[in-house]
Structures are given as C-alpha cells and as structure tokens.
Amino acid sequence: MKPTMCFDGGDPPFVNEAMLRLRQQQKRQRIQTILAAVGAGLVQLAVLVMGVLCLPQYPLISVLAFGYVLCAVLGSSVLALVLDRRKEQFVL
C-alpha cells in the first residue's frame, strides 16, 4: 500500500488546546451563522407569500409586505458587499 504522508520530512505543526478550542468555536459560529441566514430567508419567503395571498383582499398589507422584503434583501446585499470589501467575516 502506498503511503499518503511522509513522516520523516520534519516536525508536525504545533497545536495546543487553545488553538483547537478556537477552531471548534469558529466552526460552531459558522454553523450558527448559516442557520440564521437560512431562517431569515425562510421568514422573507413567508412574508412574500403572505403578500401575494393577501393582494386581492388587502392591497395595503401586500404593499407593506413587498416593501419589507425589498428592504430586507437590499440591506442584506449591502451588508454582504461591505463585509466582502473589508475582507471580514460576519459572525453572530
């Protein structure tokens, strides 16, 4: 069987408990951020569907729902662009 790694080349990278805990916390925060983004998208989809269904009877509620979804999408797009330009990660 062909070896996949060469263990004679040098010392392994230094890893301590603090580094492992930091990596675990970053992974947990990344998962929480993804869940928050998915939840926000589902809420916006629900408001959009509510606006479409209320359009015949309650046009004012529909306009408000469409306005909310528009503002939320534009705001999240601007935030994503700003954070991408600054090379930072948005973490809850």
Which runs of consecutive H residues, i.e. helices, occur in the chain? Answer: 17-54, 59-85
Kindly state whether residue 39 falls inside one of the protein's structural domains. Answer: no
Residue 9 has pLDDT above 80, yes or no: no
Kindly state whether residue 19 falls inside one of the protein's structural domains. Answer: no
Within 13 Å and on the Cβ side, how many CA atoms surround 56?
1
**Structural domain that includes position 74:** 59-92
Residue 32 has pLDDT above 80, yes or no: yes
pTM for this entry: 0.67
Instruction: Count structural domains, the chain.
Output: 1
Mean pLDDT (the chain, rounded): 84
Which pLDDT score is estimated for 7?
65
Nearest of 73, 64, 2 to residue 40 by alpha carbon: 73
Kindly state whether residue 34 falls inside one of the protein's structural domains. Answer: no
Kindly state whether residue 68 falls inside one of the protein's structural domains. Answer: yes
Q: Give per-residue pLDDT as tens, 66-86.
A: 999 999 999 888 887 887 776
Kindly state whether residue 77 falls inside one of the protein's structural domains. Answer: yes
Kindly state whether residue 3 falls inside one of the protein's structural domains. Answer: no
Residue 88 has pLDDT above 60, yes or no: no
